[in-house]
Amino acid sequence: QSIESNTLSIKEEVTDIKLWSAEEPNLYTLLIEVLDKSNNIIEVIQQKVGFRAFEMINNIMHINGKRIIFKGVNRHEFSCYTGRCVSKEEMLWDVKTMKRNNINAVRTSHYPNQSYFYELCDEYGLYVIDETNLESHGTWQKMGKIDSKCVVPDSKKEWRECVLDRAKSMLERDKNHPSIIIWSCGNEAFGGENIYLMSEYFRNTDSSRLVHYEGVFNDRRYNNSSDMESRMYAKVKDIEEYLNNNPEKPFMLCEYTHAMGNSNGAMYKYIELEEKYPMYQGGFIWDFIDQGLMTKDIYGKDYLAFGGDFGDRPTDYNFCMNGIIYADRKESPKMQEVKFNYQNIKIDVNFNSVKIKNNNLFINLDQYDIIWEYLREGNVIEYGKLNIYLEAGNEIEIKLPISKKSNSGNYTVDVKAVLKNDTLWAQKGYEVAFGQDYYEILDNNEEYDGKIIVNDCDVNFGVRGRNFEVIYSKNYGGLISYKFNGREYINEIPKPNFWHAPTDNDRGNSMAFRCAIWKIASLYAKAIDIKISYDEYKASITYTYALPTTPESKCNVTYTTLGDGSVKVKMDYKGVEGLPNMLDFGMMVKIPCVYDNLTWFGRGIEENYSDRNKGARLGVHKNKVIDNLSKYVIPQECGNKTDLKWAKVTDNTGNGLMIAGNNFEFSALPYTPHELENAYHHYELPPVYHTVIRVSLKNIGVGGDDSWGAMPHDEYLIPSNKDMSLEFTIKGI
């Protein structure tokens, strides 16, 4: 077609096209050739394009006619090695990691990204909110409170062209990317006419996308600056209040479940809104990657530095370390929960019956193999593969050809969906979703062979058997020696523990200030009474500990030694009114650090907590004790495991301790909570001399609705006015 002016318009009807979506990122190549009058090619432009429709239908956002749920994350452009200059290899790693963890959307917080990133989103399939480079947070919010006297840009005419220019630059550069489905007017810049005019520019120039701006929540003068109700860190109850009040706009969280340190607790409560409210359309986790810089300590060793480590003052310290991946692009334990919550295939297992729902919008489950496994104590008994043809939005129930076994033990039925073929982002066999069921058959024929020899002396109380010796101190108040097959396992007297090293969320809600009394109680409990009883088969000693709390509280710890060398431990506490919540309720045991191999039956493999264990599957898991020291830049509570039946901590020859119980929580780390708390960087942690075992009835939830005041939800707290009892058994192996 000949060019008669500076503008060329071509309109063609294209048929039999495959639509673009994050699930099926179908792309076509648009080729433009510019020829001179002699038909010589003087310029060639090649552009990948996709066909898709993104629109508001009945106040709900739709992609290609289907209601969309954003399973999103905010992403800063950042490299721990090169700062804001991110390489193509790092961008590709980011996109592949998102796809592997069921993330389907990215908000480019808070500026347009490199063009190559959008090309990857087009190719691999990610929905993008492209955000204008506009943020003026500090002009209107002072120490968390709104002060609108000095807002920029507001409605000030001198800022108007600058604001519109940034919008025009972004739109003109990025408009051909099908992955971009929403333009964003910037971040936390309050409101006013200038931002509204920006939103109108987007709408009038590009009708194929919607417009986002969260700031209208704080300034409703120009409420139409955003096509959707977008909020940050709204609590679930507040979201439900909005959705139950005849809303005109769909709801989206542009930032939520703040991932600072050990966090992302109770994320599942947001996910549950997806099925309950059609106008709830998901959210974007804050954020994807910690913004730390790799540098060296004074001894020349690499470490990830954060605010203040370069002599920079004032600083926000570690407040840019909010990622679900660490700054060196390694996945944090939090990703385990994100992947599960975001999975599009819902698998509900009820022993030999499994319900599978395809929550994808477009793709059939025939792209996946559905693998089932029936396991006892982590060993596969039976397994099989299901070939399922299930269209998007449909569900099916299938019977599995298994029957319950009668042998004692812990059984799981695991069902998982794995890729049937290689993709751009993962190889054949990669797991994208799972579900499981669990049951236990108890051994009711528990027998303890062998008699014991008891020495009830003035200072110590000793118990001996065929291959063990146990000594309890009367004057020091606890277990001072446990020898099994000649090996000593006790480095220090086990003590009741009510504390954990404060997390970033704990610091944000001033937990230490409120609950410090339980740290003191953990360090300085005093045995004030001892009761002893024994016969030729078992011996019991009960310590009553006075806890230095106000008002005073007490707890009892009973050790019962049996003829096979096992020691049953029972910790009892009577609730006391007027005391703050505990952070932990359990026992802490230090053993030699040579026992550095951990095997357990419970949830894993990554750390998990009562409010963050949906993605942690039950089974037998193994790692090294040091692996459980999570790399949050400031050392803090980490490494916990929930719903344990047993755990083994052994050396490389298989000798060690076994801890058994019923649905207890557990951690094995190289450090105590107090050592973790005392270190501001990992390089400040002391040399490793111990393996520190914590056996708990309950560890407080990690929380994460935000990191500047939000508490864990009530059901994940440990109120100190309730009676509590913990039981478990320790035995040498």
Mark 472-501 as b/e (b = at least 16 C-beta within 10 Å). bbbeebbbeebbbeebebbeebbbbbbbbb
Three-state SS for 687-710 is CCCEEEEEEEEEECCCCCCCCCCC
Q: Look up residue 399 and give its DSSP letter.
A: E
- Short-list 113, 104, 122, CA closest to 48: 122
Contact by Cβ (8 Å): 131, 199: no
Question: Annotated catalytic sites, by residue?
Answer: 188, 255
CB-CB contact of 389 with 476 (8 Å): no
How far apart are alpha carbons 459 and 383 in whole angstroms? 57
* Cα–Cα dist 536/28, whole Å: 82
Tell me the residue type at 117. Answer: F
**Burial code of 218-254, b = ≥16 C-beta within 10 A, e = fewer?**
bbeebeebbbbbbbbbbbeeebbebbeeeeebbbbbb
CB 69 within 8 A of CB 61: no
Q: Which residues pair with 239 in a beta bridge?
A: none
As a residue count, the chain comes to 733
CA distance 584 to 312: 36
Residue 58 neighbours by CB distance under 10 Å:
9
| 133: exposed, middle or buried (Cβ count in 10 Å: 0-12, 13-18, 19+) | middle
The two three-digit tokens of residue 330, written as one number: 């390694």
- The structure tokens listed for 103 are 């993330």
- The answer for residues whose C-beta is within 8 angstroms of residue 316's C-beta and 6 or more apart is 307
Cβ distance 605 to 621 under 8 Å? Answer: yes
First to last CA, the chain: 83
Enumerate residues 6+ apart whose C-beta is below 8 A from 79.
85, 86, 87, 90
Distance separating alpha carbons of residues 429 and 420, to the nearest angstrom: 6
Find the helix packing angle between 160-174 and 193-205, rounded to 10°.
Answer: 30
Distance (Å, rounded) from C-alpha 8 to C-alpha 32?
Answer: 12
Token output for 393: 């939005």
